[in-house]
Structure 1
Amino acid sequence: MAGFVAAKSPGRATIATAFRFALREMRGGLQGFYVFIACIALGVAAIAGVASLSRGLTEGITGEGRAILGGDLDFSLVHREVSGAEREFLDGLGKVSVIANMRAMARTPSGDKQALVEVKAIDGAYPLFGSLRLSGGGDVHTELLRHDDAWGAVVDPALLARLDISVGDEITLGYVRLKVVDTIAGEPDKLSGGIDFGPRLMISRAALEASKLLQPGTLVRWHQRVALDGASAGPTGDVAVKAVREEAETRFPDAGWRIRSRDNAAPGLSRSIGQFTQFLTLVGLTALVVGGVGVANAVRAFLDSKRPVIATFKCVGAPGSFVFWLYLIQILMLAGCGIAIGLVLGALLPFAAGAALSQVLPVQVIAGIYPGELALGLLYGVLTALAFALWPLGRAHDVPPTALFRDEIGTRARLPRRRYVAAAAVTVLVLAGLAVVLAYEPRIALIYVCAAAASFVLLFAVGRGVMALARRMPRFNGRSGRASALATEWRLALGNIHRPGALTPSVTLSLGLGLTLLVALTLIDGNLRRELTTRIAGEAPSFFFLDIQSGQMPAFRKLIAREAPNADLVTAPMLRGRLVKLNGVPTSQITPAPDAAWVLRGDRGITYSADLPKNSQLVAGKWWPKDYAGEPLVSFEGKLAKGLGLKIGDPVTVNVLGREITARVANTRDVEWESLALNFVMVFSPNTFAGAPHSYLATVTWKTPVTAEREIALLKAVSNALPTVTGVRVKDAIQQVNDLVGQLAWAIRGASAITLIASVLVLAGALAAGHRNRIHDAVILKTLGATRARLIAAYVMEYAMLGLATAIFAVFAGTVAAWYVIVKIMQVGFAFQPMTALVAALVALALSVGFGLIGTWRVLGERPAPVLRNL
């Protein structure tokens, strides 16, 4: 008694006394808290593990930066090689390796088979860092020498399969013969090149020149890799690399080259890792929030079982604050167990992923213990436990002493005191703010968090709505014996749904978020596949033909007219340029809208035209006259112009062939990108590039569907007649993208399964939390004559209705989320897929009825006598 009187004074005494009592109560073990611990552990493991794996991948890219990039610095140019002054500058920095990359058609000598290849022409200094491994173990420079009348070539093994050839066979590239002398087992700088649309074909610089593929305007990217003299691999070397980069930009401001350094060797891969990490982190956070429902259920059930203990404390003088601190300390101890398990699993994930996925991941995972990433998981776990425990703990503050003298099963819930409500709200806001602030793309994270919060609130409302609906449902009275029995079971099921303390809100919350996420991801995946395989494939051209020289255009037109008389041929001049200034401001100093940032990365395809291109519609401004001869003008894609802050009349500067050209925005237009027609972000007035060397781009579209054999026959005819022209069969490219989408979808579904697992755990926990009330009901009903079969039938009806209500919400909310992503973010068409709704309904019914019956079977096995004696 004296201890409690002393504990009435706030501060350390209250907390210290509560801590001693908490340790005593914890001697009873963890019974009833296994779901609580599992939910916390699962979410923390997902967040800490994903963050650690991302850090391991990033460290892998940074550690292998020199080998991935191929040098300390990479200076890349499109269409042209470096000038004399530029090469002199580069030679003064250290050892230089020059590489040419382009796409072309490789053919068998008979011309029967051809394939799009990624050509890489190397010099004697390649590679500056790392090593190129050949399957036969030979030296690449020796293998690429000329053999009799054919040049040597090493290839990706996939090319052998596509052309049905073997090592030792010959192929042709342009006007040169190549002998395949070996296959590539490892290419150190492969990741720096981005996405490949064909297998690698590696040849010497001399072989490329002999092929006659290098024509004015040909789309070829020249890379000058530099190994700086005296530059180390550590921070000191990074400073030297940065200084050289700044010097190059200052001395050659109009060079138009894209400079990359070893600390950003694979920007596309790093960006993809960051985006995927953000998604997985948000999925982990969703799992943690779903698990938070389990935390709340477990805490509420635990405190309900402790009502006599709490009332006893109150009777002997303990204040409400003592009760709050006593059970908060216990909850934090239990949460600590779950967090510790999650952190151990999260720390092990980089080691496990690095070993299991070493042949799949594009870079080596630098496995290690990353304290910062583990601390992030710890913080998320603590905040989640507090956010969902404070509310029921606040209610425990006001348990009256009279609870010791009467059993209050199913009493109406009362709101906690304001300070507990405020503390819970602040914790939730901190949790959401942390997710947004630390995200790779805060805007996407904010949308995701808001959507999750809205789903949470709506699911709670759905649970209350189902209870209200059940309360107002008619109670049927059957006339026959069986009908009367079913009517009784129906009334019992409805009563279980809407009674005080019912499981309805917990079941809808536990299943709803997981199913909503699953439905949304499935619909997004299905719509992307439909867009690729149905709409885009149906509207897209059959072929793209690249690098058509001006002198080849008459022969190319005649060939298409002869081989594909029923096809439409569309051509456009093609150059590559890089935006360097907008409104006179360097693009490096501009922060564009997130959906327009890609326009400023690297080079863009540009063209000129006297007429408004097809698949385009003017939004603002006017198109120039056909005989226009004034200052250079440009037409900009409307949404991208808005994202870049451009208006009619603003100057835009692009670097083309090493020259900076400034044009004014004459108009903006909408472009149907999904048609895959000849569309460009920027279309210039014809006088802008008068006399500039360039090639042509063409599309061929059959008016009526044709067989694959007919398409391949056209590709064969073009590649045989015009060996330097590159043909891309659109269906092959779409299939490649479709395969990539499929692989990504499976990865995302696998990650999202974490949320569904958390939902199942919470559902099991919710049913366990209602175990006490279920035993009471079952005993009373069995005493009054109810059979086990009738009780099971009533419970099946109850859980089936709850599962169906949850499925309906999940389908609706998931469809809205998928529609927003597909239509508003990806800007493509959306179609509802009924099978997704059916699968969601079946999953919800199976989980709710299955787990419900498992828990009910245990309840029905209870003997009435022990329970009745305690009533």
Structure 2
Amino acid sequence: GAVWFSGSPALALGTLGGVLAALVVLGLAGLGLKLAARRMARWRAIAGRPGLRWALAAIGGPRSEALSVVLSLGLGLSVLAVVGQIDANFRAAIARDLPAKAPSFFFIDLQDAELQPFLAMMKANPAVSKVESAPMLRGILTQINGRKARDVVGDHWVVMGDRGITFADAAPPGTKVTAGAWWPKGYTGPAQVSFAATEAAEMHLKLGDKLTLNILGRDIQATITSFRKVDFSSAGMGFVMAMDPAAVAGAPHSSIATVYAEAGAKLMGVLIRMLGTRAEAEDALQEVFTRVWLRAGRYDPSKGRGMTWLIALARNHAIDRLRARPDHVSDDLALEAAADPAPRAETRMVAQGEVLRINECFDALEPDRSAALRGAYLDGQSYADLATRFGVPLNTMRTWLRRSLARLRECMEA
């Protein structure tokens, strides 16, 4: 029964067969272990070692728990292996299928009164490169041309529950209409809907078909007047159905927004180099972006590049995390040993606008030391990368940076 109702009998049977095969293999391994221990206990070579002989006899004896232990350990390790394989598959799928430019954050349930202030705040944030938003409400496709939708298209995912529906007076930027036409601006006639072209082809829909959508308990009959290309693999906003605004006038709705922050990849690289593990770097990155949202108003573009400010925030937060580790001092933290609670040089550059002063201090250093210090503090390069770049041992590079940082600080404070 479980196999039949699983939705994928072949997969369920394959999984069941694999579990049974694993049990058989582990059972045979356990029996083999008992037999081998029983025989080894009789070897003359261990006659003078009673402890080992008694241990082998216990493993191979009739009351031995070897079989159950092997089954338990084997099944436990098998579960760990499966979890590891699933994790690796998920990561590979994400790396393979996720586009190079995907949204960094999604914001949902934005009310009308909140939308414009939110968009203004995001556009003023130096970490944000692009923001997209769209109104959204949810509805269920209940009928197609007067027939139950599931009777027409079966178990297609579009009719298996409620779906996000948007509305727009004019076609949103980037919309590619593949058939039909978008309704004219200011249209107030009978309800119209634009449907995703790929899903429409799968459901055998045609221009002129009548769809009944249940939105907030109200049935709305709309005519398909256009098909458009919707790329759900972009990880951005994608709606199967878009309606004319008059069709849903007065219906309560909210907005959804996607925020693109390409700086995240570079900041992640800086945090991984400093913190050592990706898991901790991911947590730290979220905390850094939270600081960015809270402190965005302090950033002044005329006083320095946005990326410099972001890297300074990320490095300072990573150093705070390193200092909070019990009984641990990292190499990166050792480099900062000369630092005090006062703002660091790169932070002062942005916060106080001392661009000319810090450039003079950089120029006062030897060219290779200056370039190495810029690479470590402004470009987020690792010590190993810098050592390779300048052809010096790693410890020499650390000495360069520590001494150059001290000289830079003295120059800034002079």
Q: TM-score, normalised by structure 1?
A: 0.23
Task: Decide which structure has the larger Cα Rg and report it.
Answer: 1
Higher relative contact order (CA 8 A, sep 6+): 1
